[in-house]
Structure formats: structure tokens, C-alpha cells
């Protein structure tokens, strides 16, 4: 059944305090919950109290110490209903028992490598005890945890440790944690296990000393330094940039190896997928370091945007996620290169969010209905949600934005609130009407902005005819115009911006046009010569722009634009045009030849020493096959796209072989450092290595094996291995074996070993992946391992996944069905790789549809997977 935003009603009862007693045993954990419950104002006496559960078994029930007779309640695994609810405040005591070892869904309380841990967002607390498991019920939690001392010497909860000790005469001990900040149940957490830790401290701006600890499995302590450093920088940054100070004496992070998502912001006790904590040069790439910095920051920033101010209901998920992603992006931009970070973020948005927004799983940033909330932790809610906050800042300016944020923190601290309340803060703080802007939260689909321009030499006017629209989507046949901040520049022949003397036809704020209508005619006056248009600088709005620019203009922008983002974008746009036309030729069996001017333009980027190496590495990266499929629209043939892409790669590699050869040996010297400058240098060297591998020179294999053998860090090692394997070179097998021997005890490194093979677009790619599912180190129970093999295959190996005989789809469908039995969240996420199935040419789309139908008729299917498969087929 669908849950709808318009049906929201506040909870009839409040739960002011929650006292939990958790007795841990691997196969039987007993939870006693004492809930201080009272009627909300306005709730009629005698209203039933209905608590959520999920597969629970009830072992005891009492009100104010008196056991309840059978006639006072009804109970099922999913619901506990009390009738004759006392009219006065009372304490409800509930005893449940669960089996952490048997919990393969990794929701609620489970064990990962022997460590007890929890995941309660969105609706996992109800797997632990019956509760009003909704984010607008805020309670003060006290948690007593008891376990066998040998099994779990470390006992952690939310907030502060207030008591601990041994239980005399037993082998057990306990700890009591108290969190003074009222919070929703999804922020509850506990951890118990035999863990090592590293410790540090942070002194907040008002002088509070905070103990920082990161807990990991024994032997991994020396891989926590980067995460700890990132945490301290995040704490400082949030004080400086948003005025947000930490509010407890302790901040704990625990890294576990079996985790459905990236990490979780539980109050004072963040729990992380260990891939976003553990790093050393031997086992982590530069990208891993950057991800750790971003995710540590993200979870820490949730303390204010998510925890102190939380969501009224799950429709408001973007209130905390979009805003917190925006904050972590800003943090990384300040720590690293802002343009490089912006380009990376936009690449991610376009490759993940745009396809989502264009297919059957499209939904507004704030959805209006859902059947399974876990399926809405999407690129739209997170990444597009962050873009919407970024546009708010563009429209209101940095000061206006900060005023709005200050008012939001001041007015809503301690509340569970909504997008309307959030926008009202900005509107009031800056006296701006944000009524139309709110559509960004309400309408699905990427606006397409079409711009035609005409220059009148006699008058010196440049006129733009601008049109915006969103293609019809399931459930959204039509749409209304959005407010689009379009940052622009008009570039003169010498490469400098030419300021117009006036602009008519649209509001302008500095260098931003503010579009509000479906069609608009904008005139720039006083231009002595015809400018080259640079539109959507910095990607100022999450739209698909079609500016009808000539190849010459695009290559001019790629060389001259003062906006680094558009410089990158112009070359990408030109490459995309060329690649799409090459792919069309491949379909028609015509000879393929890359545009020589484009090949030159890439060469210029490679050798332009004025550009940051990290920027050059990104600019040299061709649009991915998925990007090209998206821009192709319908009738997608992945083999043709792949042929087009390798044609351009080879053309680039052979035209600039010498330049690539020298760039690939220009690597940082001295001890390894993951900072942006060093990482950028490695990125450029490895990008160059990749092009050299496509050059056709006869020493390629020697160059690659040498790069592998000499690599002294994971970034360089995996780059060389990837090229050896993906190019199907004979020495690949030996090097894979060498990598395995070196890293087989480090599962995060072995994830990369699986992923390299999963993404090899070789003729027998699918067979290799199938064989790897039987490898002794493959494990269906470990989400990271499943993602690095099966998910990586489905998303990172487009030609093998979409094999013309349908066998790639069939393999992934088999895995969805099998994994769904054990872990619905991992299965339904994997299933989303079918979302663009209608865009394939007809043979492939028929195969994909057949597999979706087979999944949909599987005997038992979780609500998670059922929801995705039905929306895909609708």
C-alpha cells in the first residue's frame, strides 16, 4: 500500500523517554523497553495506541508495572495495538527477543564479523522493539547494554556513558549510556564487540573538550588516521562556515564490514561501512581518501542538519539529505580544488541522477508517495536535493543564504520539520518570494533548457530565445516552469568576458539570469562584436542545456572560457557529439574516424601546464558509456557506443602517444600524501597511462606491467591492473594473481580485485563474472562484495550486461532473485540497474523486459524489490 504525503497526521501519543535494557547473546538478544507515554494534545481519550513492529515476537507487556491481560491488546509480528489506553501518562514495558545472528537483512540489530551493531534508518528500530517508529516522535534515550565480557568488551550507545561495570558471579558486564538530546528512533544505535580504537580530542569554539574515538576490528587501527583527521577538520569547518558546534562530550565512530549503505549519523555514535573509514596508501586509492573525507564530514554535519533538526516524515528526507550533501560538497571544495570538486559532483549527478529522472523511477526531490521508503535514498533526494540548496544560495547570495540557515537553526532546533518550514526561513530572512522556487521539490524530471541565439551586428544586440520544459513522466503528464538561475558569460574574440551595457527580458543578478517563464526572450545590448556564449557556468542549475553551439564555438570555450566548469563541459559536449555520431556510424556499419580538431583540443588540454593536473585528468576523461547512452536517448546499442568510444580513445592515444608517455611518468615523489595536489598528479599520470595503452605502440604491455610492478600505492597499482585486465593482455592473469596474494587478507582491497574483473568489457566478461561468484572469497552475505562484483558488472560493464543474447540481464536477474531472499535492500538496489531498459534497441529491451517479468513473478519477493520491478514495468 502506498503511503501519501497528504495523509500525514501527527502521532496521537508522545514518548518522552525510552529506557532500553539490551541483553546480548548471538542468537537471542532480549530487549526490555520502558516507554514513558502520554496523550498528545487533541487526542481523544480512549484512542488506541498502535506501535510498529517488524517480525517481532512479544515476551512481556506491562503498564506501570502491571502485566497486561490478553484482552487489553492485540499483537502480530508487525503491530502491537493497545486498547483501553490509560488517560494519564504511563510507562509501557515491552519485552521482545530477536536473533542477531539470523538477521541477514542488516536492518535493526545484527552481527557483522562478530560485532553487534544496529541500523535503524529508516524503519529499523521496529525490528528491535515495538515503537512509534516515525521521525516526528522525539524521545530522550537511556540504554543499558549487557553482554559477555569476552565476546564484547566494548559496549557503546548514543550520548554519554553514565555507568558501567561487571556483573558479579557471571562472565558478563554492562554499560549505561544516556543521550540528553531528544531524538527520533531512527537515530538510535548501539554497538558491542571486541574492537580496537584510536582516540583523539577536539576543543569546540566555546571550549568544550570532545573525546573522539574510531572503533575498528583489531589490527586495523593504523588505517584510521585519515578518517580522524577528516573528522577534526569537519568539526572545525562547521563551526567556521555554519556556526554549528558539537553538543556532546563524546563522538564515536564505528567501522563495520557488513553494511547496506555508506554510513549512518546516529547521535554521537556514527556507524560506518568500513570502506568510508579505513585507508592507508597500500590499500586505498586517492578516490577512497576523498570519499572518506566526504562521508565522515557528511555524517558529522548531520548532527545539526538531521539530528538537532530532523524530518517530520520520510517525505521530507531531502530536508536533511540534500542539505547535508550540499554541506559536505562545500567542505570538500574548501579542502580541495573547488572547480575539480564541482566537475566531479556534476559528473556524478549526470551519470546517476539524470537517468533516474528520465526513466520509470523518476520522482520529485520530495516524493509524494512511496510503498518502501528504503527505495527513496536516491540520487534525486541526495544529489538533486543538494543542487536545489545550491541554487538557493545562488539566488539569495552567500549572505542571504547564511541568514536563512541561521534562522533555520534558531527557529527549528529540537524539531521535526518540513521543506515548507525550511524555505520559509530563507524567504523571511531575505524577504524573497520562494513560491515558484518550491517547484524544484515538487516536480520530477530534468528541465530541458533550449537556447537559440541571434546577434545583430548593426545594433550590437544579442538575443536569446529560451525555452524550458520537462518531458512527460509516469504520473506527471505536464509540468510548470521552474526558477532557473543561469550563470552566463559573453566571451569576446580575445577570450575575455564582454559585459553587456544592459539586459532586458529576464531578471539579472550580477552574472546570473533568472529564468521564470516557459519561454523567454532575453536581449543583451552594447556588444561591439559577436560573443561566444558561455551558459550555465558552474552548472548553476540541474538542467539539461541545449545551446545549439557549433563545434568551433565549443572548442573555443574549451580553450578560452574563464569558467573552469564550462571549459570542461564544452569539451565534453563536443566529444559527446562526435561519439554519438560515431556510434550511429557503427550501427550502420560505416567506417569510424574521430574528428581531428577534437583530437587536437584534447592534446592541448594534456599539455597545458597552466591547468591544474587534477583538472586536466578530468578533462581528458571521455564521457562514459552510460553518459553516451543517456544522451543518445532511445534505440541505444551499447556495442556501437563502445566501438565509438574506443575509436576516439585510440585516435587520442596514437596522436599524442609521446605526450602521454611523458605525462604518465610525471608522478609525485617522496612519501605518499593523499592531498589534492598529489592525487591530481597521480590522476593525470594514470589517465595518460590509459591513453598510452590505447596508442597502438608496441611496448604497451611492458609499460603497463612495469607500472604495476613499480607501483608503491593502491591508486597506481589498481590503475595499471585495470588496464592490463580490461585490455585483455596476456600478463593480466599473473598480475591478478600477484594482487590477490598481496591483498587477500584485506577485504576492501579484494573488493577492487573483484571490481576490476567485473568491469572488463571482454567477450567472455560475463563468464568470468559467473565464475567469480564461485570464488572462495566471494560472499553473498557481504554487501560490499556483492556490489563490487554483481553490481559493478551491471552498472560498469554495459556491453556484457546488455549482451545481445540477453544472458547478461539473465545473470543479474538471477542474482536479484537470490539476494532478495537474504537482503532486500541490496537486491532492490541492484535491480535499479534495469531502470533504463526501455531505451535499448528492441532486441535488448525485449530481453530486459523478459527478465523484469521473471523477477516480478518470482515466488517470494520483498516489498523493496516488488516496488522497483513494478515501477520499472509500469
Question: Nearest to residue 388, comparing CAs of 473, 483, 274?
Answer: 483
Which one of ligand ARG, Zn ion, none is in contact with 377 (Cβ closer than 5 to 8 A by kind)?
A: ligand ARG
Residue 125, C-beta contacts closer than 8 angstroms, at least 6 positions apart:
108, 131, 133, 185, 186, 188
Residues from 52 through 91 that contact ligand ARG (CB under 6 A): none
**Which residue has 546480548 as its cell numbers?**
24
Cα–Cα dist 114/194, whole Å = 8
Residue from 63, 198, 263, 491 in contact with ligand ARG (CB under 6 A): 263
**Phi, psi dihedrals of residue 97, rounded to the nearest 5°:** -135, 130
Check 265, 293, 299, 372 and give the catalytic one.
299
Q: Looking at beta carbons only, is 142 or 316 nearer to ligand ARG? A: 316
Cα–Cα dist 412/310, whole Å = 9
Cα–Cα dist 505/455, whole Å = 16
User: From the CB of 384, what's the least distance to ligand ARG, in Å?
Assistant: 15
To 10 degrees, the CA torsion angle through 678, 679, 682, 683?
-140
Among 256-264, 713-721, 776-784, 856-864, the segment contacting ligand ARG (CB under 6 A): 256-264
Say how many Å lie between the first and final Cα of the chain, rounded.
16
**Residue 19 near ligand ARG by CB under 6 A:** no
Q: Looking at beta carbons only, is 367 or 500 nearer to ligand ARG? A: 367
Residue nearest to ligand ARG (CB): 377
The two beta strands, 269-273 and 250-256, are parallel
Residues from 301 through 360 that contact ligand ARG (CB under 6 A): 321
Q: Are 75 and 24 in contact (CB under 8 A)?
A: no
Q: Looking at beta carbons only, is 367 or 489 nearer to ligand ARG? A: 367
Q: Looking at beta carbons only, is 383 or 612 nearer to ligand ARG? A: 383
Among 38-46, 260-268, 422-430, 786-794, the segment contacting ligand ARG (CB under 6 A): 260-268
Among 175-183, 262-270, 504-512, 777-785, the segment contacting ligand ARG (CB under 6 A): 262-270
H or E element in which residue 253 lies: strand 250-256
Q: Is 299 a catalytic residue?
A: yes
H or E element in which residue 410 lies: helix 385-412
User: From the CB of 298, what's the least distance to Zn ion, in Å?
Assistant: 6
| CA atoms within 13 Å, Cβ hemisphere of 617 | 24
Residue from 19, 54, 121, 293 in contact with ligand ARG (CB under 6 A): 121
Binding mask 288-307 for ligand ARG (x = CB under 6 A): ----------xx--------
Binding mask 265-284 for ligand ARG (x = CB under 6 A): x-------------------
Which one of Zn ion, ligand ARG, none is in contact with 263 (Cβ closer than 5 to 8 A by kind)?
A: ligand ARG
User: From the CB of 763, what's the least distance to ligand ARG, in Å?
Assistant: 36
Cα–Cα dist 653/689, whole Å = 9
Q: Looking at beta carbons only, is 297 or 749 nearer to Zn ion? A: 297
DSSP string, 647-690: HHHHHHHHHTHHHHHHHHT----SS---SHHHHHHHHHHHHHHH
Cα–Cα dist 561/511, whole Å = 14
Which one of ligand ARG, Zn ion, none is in contact with 264 (Cβ closer than 5 to 8 A by kind)?
A: ligand ARG
**Residue 377 near ligand ARG by CB under 6 A:** yes
3-state SS class at 47: coil
Q: How many residues belong to the site for ligand ARG (CB under 6 A)?
A: 11
Residues from 132 through 151 that contact ligand ARG (CB under 6 A): none
**Residue 862 near ligand ARG by CB under 6 A:** no
Residue from 11, 55, 58, 261 in contact with ligand ARG (CB under 6 A): 261
Residues in contact with Zn ion by CB under 5 A are 321, 324
Q: Are 585 and 635 in contact (CB under 8 A)?
A: no
**Residue 372 near ligand ARG by CB under 6 A:** no
User: How many whole angstroms from its chain centre is CA 498?
Assistant: 39
Q: Which parts of this chain interact with ligand ARG (CB under 6 A)?
A: 121-122, 261, 263-265, 298-299, 321, 374, 377
Catalytic residues: 299
Amino acid at each position: 500500500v502506498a503511503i501519501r504525503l497528504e495523509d500525514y497526521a501527527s502521532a496521537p501519543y508522545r514518548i518522552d523517554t525510552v529506557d532500553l535494557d539490551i541483553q546480548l547473546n548471538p542468537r537471542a538478544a532480549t530487549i526490555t523497553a520502558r516507554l514513558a507515554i502520554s496523550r498528545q494534545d487533541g487526542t481523544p481519550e480512549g484512542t488506541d495506541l498502535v506501535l510498529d513492529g517488524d517480525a517481532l515476537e512479544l515476551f512481556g507487556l506491562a503498564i506501570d508495572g502491571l502485566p497486561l491481560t490478553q484482552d487489553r491488546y492485540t499483537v502480530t509480528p508487525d503491530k502491537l495495538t493497545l486498547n483501553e489506553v490509560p488517560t494519564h501518562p504511563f510507562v509501557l514495558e515491552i519485552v521482545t527477543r530477536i536473533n542477531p545472528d539470523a538477521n541477514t537483512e542488516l536492518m535493526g540489530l545484527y552481527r557483522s564479523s562478530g560485532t553487534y551493531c544496529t541500523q535503524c534508518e529508516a524503519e529499523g528500530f521496529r525490528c528491535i522493539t515495538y515503537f512509534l517508529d516515525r521521525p516526528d516522535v522525539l524521545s530522550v534515550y537511556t540504554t543499558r547494554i549487557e553482554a559477555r565480557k569476552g565476546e564484547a568488551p566494548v559496549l557503546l550507545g548514543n550520548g554519554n556513558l553514565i555507568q558501567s561495570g561487571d556483573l558479579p558471579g557471571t562472565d558478563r558486564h554492562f554499560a549505561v549510556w544516556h543521550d540528553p538530546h531528544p531524538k527520533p528512533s531512527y537515530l538510535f544505535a548501539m554497538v558491542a564487540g571486541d574492537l580496537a580504537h584510536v582516540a583523539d580530542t577536539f576543543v569546540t569554539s566555546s571550549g568544550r573538550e570532545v573525546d573522539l574515538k574510531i572503533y575498528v576490528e583489531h589490527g586495523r587501527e593504523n588505517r584510521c588516521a585519515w578518517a580522524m583527521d577528516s573528522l577534526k577538520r569537519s568539526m572545525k569547518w562547521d563551526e567556521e562556515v555554519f556556526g554549528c558546534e558539537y553538543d556532546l562530550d563524546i563522538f564515536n565512530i564505528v567501522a563495520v564490514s557488513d553494511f547496506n549503505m555508506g554510513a549512518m549519523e546516529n547521535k554521537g555514535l556514527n556507524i560506518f561501512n568500513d570502506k568510508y573509514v579505513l585507508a592507508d596508501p597500500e590499500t586505498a586509492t586517492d578516490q577512497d581518501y576523498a570519499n572518506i573525507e566526504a562521508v565522515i564530514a557528511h555524517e558529522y554535519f548531520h548532527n545539526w542538519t538531521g539530528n538537532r533538526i530532523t524530518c517530520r516524515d520520510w517525505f521530507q528526507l531531502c530536508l536533511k539529505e540534500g542539505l547535508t550533501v550540499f554541506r559536505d560538497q562545500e567542505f570538500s571544495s574548501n579542502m580541495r580544488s573547488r572547480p575539480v570538486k564541482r566537475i566531479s559532483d556534476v559528473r556524478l549527478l549526470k551519470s546517476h541522477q539524470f537517468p533516474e529522472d528520465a526513466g520509470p523511477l523518476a520522482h520529485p526531490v520530495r516524493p509524494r508517495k512511496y510503498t518502501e521508503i528504503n527505495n527513496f535514498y536516491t540520487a534525486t533526494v541526495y544529489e538533486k536535493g543538494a543542487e536545489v540548496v545550491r541554487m538557493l544560495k545562488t539566488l539569495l547570495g552567500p549572505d542571504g543564504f547564511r541568514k536563512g540557515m541561521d534562522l533555520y537553526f534558531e527557529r527549528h532546533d529540537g524539531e521535526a520539520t518540513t521543506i515548507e518550514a525550511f524555505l520559509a526561513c530563507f524567504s523571511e530572512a531575505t524577504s524573497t518570494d520562494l513560491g515558484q522556487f518550491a517547484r524544484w521539490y515538487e516536480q520530477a524530471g530534468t528541465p530541458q533548457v533550449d537556447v537559440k541565439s541571434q546577434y545583430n551586428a548593426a545594433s550590437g544586440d544579442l538575443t536569446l530565445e529560451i525555452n524550458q520544459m520537462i518531458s512527460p513522466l509516469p504520473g506527471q503528464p505536464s509540468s510548470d516552469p521552474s526558477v532557473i538561475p543561469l550563470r552566463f558569460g559573453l566571451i569576446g574574440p580575445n577570450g575575455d568576458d564582454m559585459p553587456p551595457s544592459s539586459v532586458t527580458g529576464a531578471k539579472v543578478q550580477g552574472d546570473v539570469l533568472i529564468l521564470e517563464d516557459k519561454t523567454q526572450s532575453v536581449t543583451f545590448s552594447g556588444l561591439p562584436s559577436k560573443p561566444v556564449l558561455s551558459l550555465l557556468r558552474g552548472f548553476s542549475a540541474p538542467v539539461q542545456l541545449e545551446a545549439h553551439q557549433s563545434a568551433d564555438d565549443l572548442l573555443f570555450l574549451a580553450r578560452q572560457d574563464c569558467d573552469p566548469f564550462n571549459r570542461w563541459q564544452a569539451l565534453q559536449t563536443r566529444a559527446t557529439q562526435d561519439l554519438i555520431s560515431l556510434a550511429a556510424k557503427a550501427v550502420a556499419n560505416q567506417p569510424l574516424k574521430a574528428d581531428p580538431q577534437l583530437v587536437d583540443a584534447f592534446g592541448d588540454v594534456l599539455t597545458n601546464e597552466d591547468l591544474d593536473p587534477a583538472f586536466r585528468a578530468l578533462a581528458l576523461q571521455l564521457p562514459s558509456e552510460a553518459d553516451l547512452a543517456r544522451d543518445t536517448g532511445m534505440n541505444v546499442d551499447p556495442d556501437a557506443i563502445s566501438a565509438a568510444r574506443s575509436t576516439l580513445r585510440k585516435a587520442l592515444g596514437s596522436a599524442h602517444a609521446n605526450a602521454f608517455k611523458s605525462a604518465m611518468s610525471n608522478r609525485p615523489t617522496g612519501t605518499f600524501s593523499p592531498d589534492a595536489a598529489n592525487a591530481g598528479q597521480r590522476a593525470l599520470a594514470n589517465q595518460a597511462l590509459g591513453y598510452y595503452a590505447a596508442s597502438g605502440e608496441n611496448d604497451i604491455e611492458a609499460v603497463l606491467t612495469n607500472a604495476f610492478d613499480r607501483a608503491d600505492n593502491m591508486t597506481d597499482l589498481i590503475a595499471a591492473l585495470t588496464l592490463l585486465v580490461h585490455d585483455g593482455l596476456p600478463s593480466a592473469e599473473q598480475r591478478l594473481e600477484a594482487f590477490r596474494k598481496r591483498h587477500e587478507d584485506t577485504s576492501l582491497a579484494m573488493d577492487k580485485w573483484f571490481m576490476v574483473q567485473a568491469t572488463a568489457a571482454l567477450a567472455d566478461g560475463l563468464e568470468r563474472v559467473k565464475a567469480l561468484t564461485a570464488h572462495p572469497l566471494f560472499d553473498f552475505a557481504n554487501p560490499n562484495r556483492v556490489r563490487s562484483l554483481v553490481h559493478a558488472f551491471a552498472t560498469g560493464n554495459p556491453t556484457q550486461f546488455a549482451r545481445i543474447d540477453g544472458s547478461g540481464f539473465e545473470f543479474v536477474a538471477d542474482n536479484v532473485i537470490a539476494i532478495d531472499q537474504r537482503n532486500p535492500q541490496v537486491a532492490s538496489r541492484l535491480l535499479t540497474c534495469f531502470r533504463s531498459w526501455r531505451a535499448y534497441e528492441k532486441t535488448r529491451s525485449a530481453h530486459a523486459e523478459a527478465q523484469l517479468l521473471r523477477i516480478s513473478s518470482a515466488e517470494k519477493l520483498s516489498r523493496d524489490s516488488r516496488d522497483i520491478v513494478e515501477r520499472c514495468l509500469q
